[in-house]
Homo-oligomer: A and B are copies of this chain.
Amino acid sequence: MRNGVDTATLFATLDAVKAAPAAARFQFRATNEWLTGTHNRSTIHGFFGVGEERAHERAFDLDADHPAVLVGGDNAPTPVEHLLHALAACLTAGLVNIAAARGVRLTEVRSTVTGDIDLNGILGPDPAVRNGFERVSVRFSVAGDAPDEVLRAIVEQSRERSAVFDMLTNHVPVDVEV
């Protein structure tokens, strides 16, 4: 165990995927239900991976809402704040795994993620303003038993191998059916 990561299992998983690439096909899911106004709830339980249908040990509920200043009930984070969390979580999990694989013991990983958005895109009539964040910034603070340049290289590799970073910086096909 290093950084709370079972490195033997991590390397065995990497070897298993190399031997049988089809095992790496996963499907993740969320089912969402409207509660009232901008308040809604997703339940996350089942997923597909390593050739079969699976489930988390328990179902997780995630709520979202708008703050009062955006005509919501402020019962939960906004959808775009969930997206910032997804990015921070993906980069952090990645860099902890990479550090464990490289034999680096981490003592602290903190990050702040900010997203700047001009709501004239969503609320206003100006088609020149996009709906989403104009830019996202991530600031990491990482401490561990390795020189600064090694810790920087670990963060850089986590960026190169992050699913959420990839999806935000490259487009993903999304189809919506009713």
Contacts and interface: CB of A to CB of B under 8 A. Distances in A.
Interface of A: 3-6, 9-10, 13-14, 17-18, 21, 24-40, 42, 44, 47, 49-50, 54, 56-57, 60, 62, 64-74, 76-94, 96-97, 106, 108-126, 130-142, 151-152, 155-156, 159, 161-178
B10 A71 contact: yes
Contacts of A40: 88-89, 92-93, 96, 109
Contact of A167 (B78, B141, B168): B168
Nearest to A177: B139
18 contacts: A3-B37, A13-B70, A21-B126, A24-B124, A25-B117, A26-B117, A27-B117, A31-B110, A34-B108, A49-B119, A57-B67, A62-B85, A72-B93, A79-B164, A80-B86, A91-B176, A132-B166, A138-B174
Q: Which among A60, A141, A155, A177 has the highest number of chain B CB atoms within 10 Å?
A: A60
Given A29-B114, A62-B62, A133-B163, A69 B54 contact: yes
Contacts of A68: 57
Contact of A28 (B18, B37, B93, B117): B117
Identical copies of this chain, number: 2
Given A115-B28, A124-B17, A178 B166 contact: no
B50 A69 contact: yes
Given A133-B167, A135-B175, 19 more contacts: A24-B123, A30-B112, A32-B85, A38-B93, A47-B67, A50-B69, A57-B74, A62-B77, A62-B89, A64-B93, A83-B83, A121-B166, A132-B163, A132-B166, A132-B170, A137-B175, A142-B178, A151-B178, A159-B176
